[in-house]
Structure 1
Amino acid sequence: MRRTPLLAAVAALLLGALSAPAAHSAPAAFVHPGVTVSAAQLEFARTKVNAGAQPWKGAYDQMMASKYASLTRTPAPRATVECGSYSNPNYGCTDEREDAIAAYTDALAWYITKDARYAQKAIQLMDAWSGTITSHTNSNAPLQTGWAGSSWPKAAEIIKYTYTGTWANSARFSTMLRNVYLPVVIKGSNSNGNWELSMVEAAVGISVFLEDKASYDTAMAKFRTRTAAYVYLASDGSVPKTVPSQNLNTTAKIVSYWQGQSTFVTGLTQETCRDFVHTGYGISAISHVAETSRIQGADLYGTDVGERLRQALGFQSKYQLGEAVPSWLCGGTLTRGLGPITEVGYNALHNRLGIAMANTQTLTQNQRPAGSNNLFVAWETLTHGDNPS
Structure 2
Amino acid sequence: MRKPKSAFARHGLAALASAAVVSLLPGCTPAAAPIHAAPLLFAHPGVLVSREQLDFAKQQVAAGNQPWKGAFDQLVASPYAALDHVPVPRAVVDCGSYSKPDNGCTDERKDAVSAYTDALAWYLTGDGRYADKAIEIMDAWSGTITDHTNSNAPLQSGWAASIWTRAAEIVRYTYNWPGAGRFGDMLRNVYLPKVINGSQSNGNWELTMLEATLGIAVYTEDRPTYDKAVGMYLDRVPAYVYLSSDGPMPKISARSNLRTPEAIIKYWQNQSVFVDGLAQETCRDFEHTGYGLSAIAHIAETSRIQHEDLYPQVGDRLRAAFEFHARYQLGEPLPADICGGKFDKKLGPITEVALNALHNRMGQDLPETQQLTDQIRPEGVLMFSLWETLTHAGNPN
**Could you tell me the TM-score, scaled by structure 1's length?**
0.94
1:173 aligns with 2:179: no
CA distance in 1, matches of 2:221, 2:12: 25
Q: Deviation string for 1:8-55 (max 9, x for gaps)?
A: 956x97464389999861000100001001111000000000110000
| Aligned match of 1:216 | 226
| Aligned match of 1:290 | 300
Q: 2:346 aligns with which of 337, 341, 352?
A: 337
Query: Shift in Å at residue 245 of structure 1?
Result: 2.5
Q: 1:188 aligns with which of 176, 182, 198?
A: 198
Aligned residue for 2:258, secondary structure, equals: coil
CA distance in 2, matches of 1:382, 1:15: 30
Q: After TM superposition, where is structure 1 displaced by more than 4 Å over at least 4 residues in a row? A: 12-16, 18-24
| Aligned match of 1:226 | 236
Which letter maps to 1:376?
F
CA distance in 1, matches of 2:330, 2:10: 38
Query: Shift in Å at residue 296 of structure 1?
Result: 0.5
For residues 213-292 of structure 1, what are the structure 2 equivalents within 5 Å? 213-292=223-302
CA distance in 1, matches of 2:15, 2:40: 14
| Aligned match of 2:215 | 205
1:121 aligns with 2:133: yes
Q: Is the 8 A contact 2:350 2:385 kept in 1?
A: yes
Q: Deviation string for 1:212-232 (max 9, x for gaps)?
A: 000000011111111110000
Structure 1 residues 296 and 176, CA gap change in structure 2 (3 angstroms): same
For residues 1-389 of structure 1, what are the structure 2 equivalents within 5 Å? 9=5, 14=9, 16-17=11-12, 25-163=37-175, 165=176, 167-303=177-313, 305-373=314-382, 375-389=383-397
Query: Shift in Å at residue 246 of structure 1?
Result: 2.3
Q: Deviation string for 1:315-357 (max 9, x for gaps)?
A: 0000000101110000110101001100000000001111110
Q: Is the 8 A contact 2:158 2:209 kept in 1?
A: yes
CA distance in 2, matches of 1:123, 1:361: 36
CA distance in 1, matches of 2:15, 2:118: 37
Unaligned runs of 5+ in 1: none
Aligned-residue Cα RMSD (Å) equals 1.9
Higher helix share: 1
Aligned residue for 1:291, secondary structure, equals: helix
Query: Shift in Å at residue 161 of structure 1?
Result: 0.7
Query: Shift in Å at residue 388 of structure 1?
Result: 0.8
CA distance in 2, matches of 1:45, 1:24: 32
Structure 1 residues 63 and 329, CA gap change in structure 2 (3 angstroms): same
Q: Deviation string for 1:259-313 (max 9, x for gaps)?
A: 010001110000000000000000000000000000101122222x111111111
Which letter maps to 2:269?
Q
Count of residues in Structure 1 that have an aligned counterpart in Structure 2? 379
Unaligned runs of 5+ in 2: 18-34
CA distance in 1, matches of 2:116, 2:335: 41
CA distance in 2, matches of 1:245, 1:287: 22
Which letter maps to 1:81?
V
Q: Is the 8 A contact 2:93 2:148 kept in 1?
A: yes
CA distance in 1, matches of 2:235, 2:127: 42
Structure 1 residues 52 and 24, CA gap change in structure 2 (3 angstroms): farther
